[in-house]
Amino acid sequence: MMRLPSFRFHRPQTLAEAARLLAASPQTTRLVAGGTDLWPNLKRRHQQAEDVVSLSLVRELHGVSRLADGSFAIGAMTTLSEVAADRPLAAEHPALSRAVRSISSPVLQNMGTLGGNLCLDTRCTYYNQNEEWRRSIGYCKKEVGETCWVAPGSPRCWAISASDSAPMLCALGASVRLVSASGERTIPLTALYQDDGIAYLTKRPDEILTQVLLPAAADRRSSFWKLRRRGSIDFGVLSVAGTIALDAQRHVRSAQLFLGCVASFPTPCTEAVEALVGKPFDEEHIARAAALARKAASPLSNTDFLPQWRSKMVEPYTEAVLREIAGLPQQRLAPAHAF
């Protein structure tokens, strides 16, 4: 049986108190939301903590609300089940609801939170093993080792971001509110991430992600597809999130495409987007953009399936997302979670 290590456990009832506890020793204190990621990591000794601060009793971090301008504010402690089930949110952003419903299983969705999923620890075949296995290979760069076993000659860690909500929220233009004992700031969600398996978040150790701010959909349409070995429970090995806005002539006025599970951050498909904007949203340009999306992904041997196959699947999955947004017939079977 895996047991939690010893630590001091705190359950503040206000955000100010939580921020104060975190500020006291940010390097040795962990925040816990739903616990579906932190508790297993502590049990496997992936992470350590002298203090753990639970956010479960901070009421202002819970719930979904619609603001006067039509945008949504989602508390970081809102469970994934609550996010997926919120009717106004699902009606305006159905692809977000789909992305959230694809996460793990209903049991974990009832515990996991949106803020926790956005801050999900990066994953790797060599890192997400039991302690004895990791010790036998001298650990890895993400822990106390000196080598990234995915790419032994590389100076960096190649663990991947497996959050399913992050690529979709990035495509939707979401922002996040970060609060600390010294103040607060709001940044685009895309600015929360960087392509580094260890330092994958840009927020400071003393900051708490408290809220997700989601603009109104307006005339944008969106879609999300995810690839994994089974239709539930398994982490994804690829996800594609896209949003498109068209003008009166059905030319693409704006577009966003992000890939998940292929790098240490939600990966923007810059060339694919550039190939779409200003062009007719038809089969020819969709196929061209999907081919360019593959250039944004360089999967490595750090998760399930062969990296060459994962890379190859970027093109048809991106094409499926764009075809769904365009209302064109699908050329492949949708993932089990999609409908």
Q: Are residues 205 and 67 in the same domain?
A: yes
Q: What is the mean pLDDT of residues 294-313?
A: 91
Amino acid at 76: A
Domain that holds residue 254: 221-326
CATH number at residue 264: 3.30.390.50
Q: Are residues 237 and 95 in the same domain?
A: no
Helices 283-293 + 307-326 axis angle, to 10: 150
> Per-residue pLDDT tens for 278-301?
999 999 999 999 999 999 998 889
> Per-residue pLDDT tens for 70-84?
999 999 999 999 999
- Give the end of a domain, one of 214, 241, 258: 214
Residue 137 lies in a domain: no
Residue 338 lies in a domain: no
CATH number at residue 86: 3.30.465.10
Q: Are residues 241 and 171 in the same domain?
A: no
Q: Is the pLDDT of residue 319 over 60?
A: yes
Q: Are residues 203 and 236 in the same domain?
A: no
Counted domains in the chain: 2
- How many Å apart are CA 239 and CA 95, to the nearest integer? 12
Q: Is the pLDDT of residue 338 over 80?
A: no
- Give the end of a domain, one of 193, 214, 235: 214
Q: Are residues 164 and 253 in the same domain?
A: no
User: pTM (2 decimals)?
Assistant: 0.95
